[in-house]
Amino acid sequence: MRSAPTRSQTRAKVDTGLSQWGLSRPAMAVALGGLALFLGASMALAESHAEMTKGDAVIQSHGYNYYGDLAYPAGFPQMNYVNPDAPKGGTFAIDASGTFDSMNPYSRKGRPGAMSSMMYESLLDPSAPADEYGSEYCLLCESLEYDEGKTWVIFHMRKDAKFSDGTPVTAHDVVFSHELLLEQGLPSYARAVSQRITGAEALDDYTVKFTFATDIPRRSLIDQAGGVSVWSKKWFEETGARLDEPRMETSPGSGPYMLDSYDINRRITYKRNPDYWGKDLPINKGRHNYDEIRVEYFSDETAAFEAFKAGEYTFREETNSKQWATGYNFPAVDKGYVKLESIPDGNPPTNVGFVFNLGREVLKDKRVREALALGYNFEWTNESLQFGLFEQRNSFFQGTVQEATGVPEGKEREILESLGDLVPAEVLSEPVRMAHTSSPTRVLDRKNLRRAMSLLDEAGWSVGGDGMRRNDAGQTLDIVIPINSSGSPTLESMVQTYVQNLQQMGVNAQMQKVDPSQYTLRQRERDYDVIFAGYRTFVGAGTGLFQLYGSENADVSLFNPAGVASPLIDALIQTALEAEETETETAALTALDRVLRHEFFMVPAYFKADNWLAYFNMYDHPEDMPPFAVGQMDFWWADAEKEEALKAAGALR
């Protein structure tokens, strides 16, 4: 196993020279309508300025970074962390729990198949590099140019790019895809993008121009335009298919993998396109190394783990702490067939926790939310259910230079004071909110219980003779927390314990197990009181912050499960976007962290510093891993001899 640095070492590695990070780009962003939330990067990487020219205030480049700094120069041979001689071949197989009824990941209905967006590419590559934040390099384009004021961008496309049906990828397909998302994509996406991108035009077959609104910040404009998945206009027009409808038929993609086959609710197989147009590009060297990527579906996490032990799939990224601590003692591990590895995660932790639906009338009272939060015992949960492997999360910017501490000072205080009456007095005078502490030895912390009871009394929820809390109208305090029936048993135990503590307060609380399709629907329709969910990691200024926390889209945004809406939050996001130097941007984001925690729409849960990986000993990865991605489906590779040996030993099915 690789020697993992401490959390503080990892943070220092990430923070040094990268004080302005970008947003991690999970595949879900693509799967939910192509939303690309991209941010600024370090200004320390000045060497690439020589690779750009600024004639007549026009910048020409092979990639994009908001500050203009790219770590990789024009003509780079490959990404620094890949193995350019990695062998091609083999199979990579993972698991998925639940069901799927569509291979269209952009539909507003249905449950899409895993990785069904992987076939489509964009002008700029959102998944590389994994060693540089906030920068993207040309993929479908070969170069781009934009004015210094970032009011427009022109992408010059590669003329050899082709869809899997052999037809060329053109500027007309780019414009069509952009307009299709506005017409049939997520409403929150269409609303936000249409106000920012004012025009998309094919100047010729291989040149596309986007123009931007002039009265908005310049953040996340060029990278937004360059990050849209590109679909075949010809296919959509000939078939009449819609982007917002579930369907099993897929449009041709331009990516390295194509859909090969599927068996609904059992298996999806993607195979390498032998005619992939971009296989020799420098940005793709040492990447996309498997011949086949397969997804095996199981009814729940328990069945999936048993299948891994039996060799039905080959790679597992473990998130269940109990399983990681105690479950990997089966024969395949003892014989060396399965390898266990912890790889440090250089990204800030995901902002997960119990999210309050602020649309519910009872939860609009912060005293009620604070009381309910006190029912969650992180310390006991971590020790008793999670084997002490997690840390308590406090901040939306945990472990970064933007994490708020103490009372506001310096530039952060100046920004808050400049917003006048929008800022509550206690935000300026009191230390930033921290997660409450609980007894690790008692599931129900008596001190927290007394505080919660007092808060509920103050909020008008009195205890009756039957022990239930009711308001003046005689209504009980009802809280329902739905969970996915195919999810982790450990998460189920955690939620059930939380519910039991709420019941001790007199709350009519219950956990509801629902099937995966219903759970997805309830998430989309915000049909819950409290849900265990999260907000994407965000540690730099980008307009994606408005999708997460902004008021305008709070009623429809799938990325804002609480529906939080605050003029103060809006103002701080705007301040960060308009910042002209890193000091102001950092201070504005620190203030944003402070205010998000003050609004208290989530009970922060846990995080872990490493990626826990279990895989059959047939894969290899670069010795020096990049900090911001594990890359198991990107730049790892399969060893054919090891794979055959495992099959001969009966370890793989």
pLDDT (average), residues 63-75: 92
Which residues, in sequence order, are CB contacts of 44 under 8 Å at separation 6+? Answer: 17, 69
The more confidently predicted of residues 590 and 580 is 590
Both tokens assigned to 259: 């859909």
Can you tell me the distance from the alpha carbon of 647 to that of 48, in angstroms, rounded to the nearest whole number? 47
Q: Looking at residue 188, what is its pLDDT? A: 76
Contact 389, 608 (CB under 8 A): yes
Confidence of residue 218 (pLDDT cuts 50, 70, 90): confident
Q: What is the mean pLDDT of the chain?
A: 89
**Tens digits of residue pLDDT in 129-185:** 999 988 999 999 999 999 999 999 999 999 999 999 999 999 999 999 999 999 998
Percent over 70 (pLDDT), the chain: 91
Both tokens assigned to 448: 């927290």
Q: What are the extents of the domains in the chain?
A: 7-341+610-648, 354-604
Both tokens assigned to 163: 């869809």
DSSP string, 211-269: EE-SSS-STTSHHHHHTS----HHHHHHH---TTS--S------SSEEEEEEETTTEEE
Confidence of residue 538 (pLDDT cuts 50, 70, 90): confident
DSSP string, 85-113: TPPP--EEEEEEES---BS-TT-SSS-BP
Q: Looking at residue 282, what is its pLDDT? A: 97
Q: Do domains 7-341+610-648 and 354-604 have the same CATH topology?
A: no
Query: Side chain identity at 347, as an amino acid letter?
Result: N
Contact 53, 61 (CB under 8 A): no
The more confidently predicted of residues 51 and 520 is 520
**Tens digits of residue pLDDT in 627-647:** 889 999 999 999 999 999 999
Q: Is the pLDDT of residue 386 over 70?
A: yes
Find the range with the poorest average confidence among 26-30, 75-79, 384-388. Answer: 26-30
Report which of 219, 141, 167, 181 is spatially closest to residue 29, judged by C-alpha positions: 181
CATH, domain range 354-604: 3.10.105.10
Confidence of residue 365 (pLDDT cuts 50, 70, 90): very high
Question: Running DSSP on this structure, what letter comes out for residue 580?
Answer: S
Confidence of residue 26 (pLDDT cuts 50, 70, 90): very low
Q: Looking at residue 580, what is its pLDDT? A: 79
pTM for this model (two decimals): 0.78
Q: Is the pLDDT of residue 32 over 80?
A: no
The more confidently predicted of residues 160 and 37 is 160
Q: Is the pLDDT of residue 52 over 60?
A: no
CA distances from 625 to 27, 112, 405 (A): 20, 31, 31
CATH, domain range 7-341+610-648: 3.40.190.10
Bridge partner residues of 271 (DSSP): 258, 292
Confidence of residue 46 (pLDDT cuts 50, 70, 90): very low
Q: Looking at residue 68, what is its pLDDT? A: 84
Q: Looking at residue 56, what is its pLDDT? A: 59
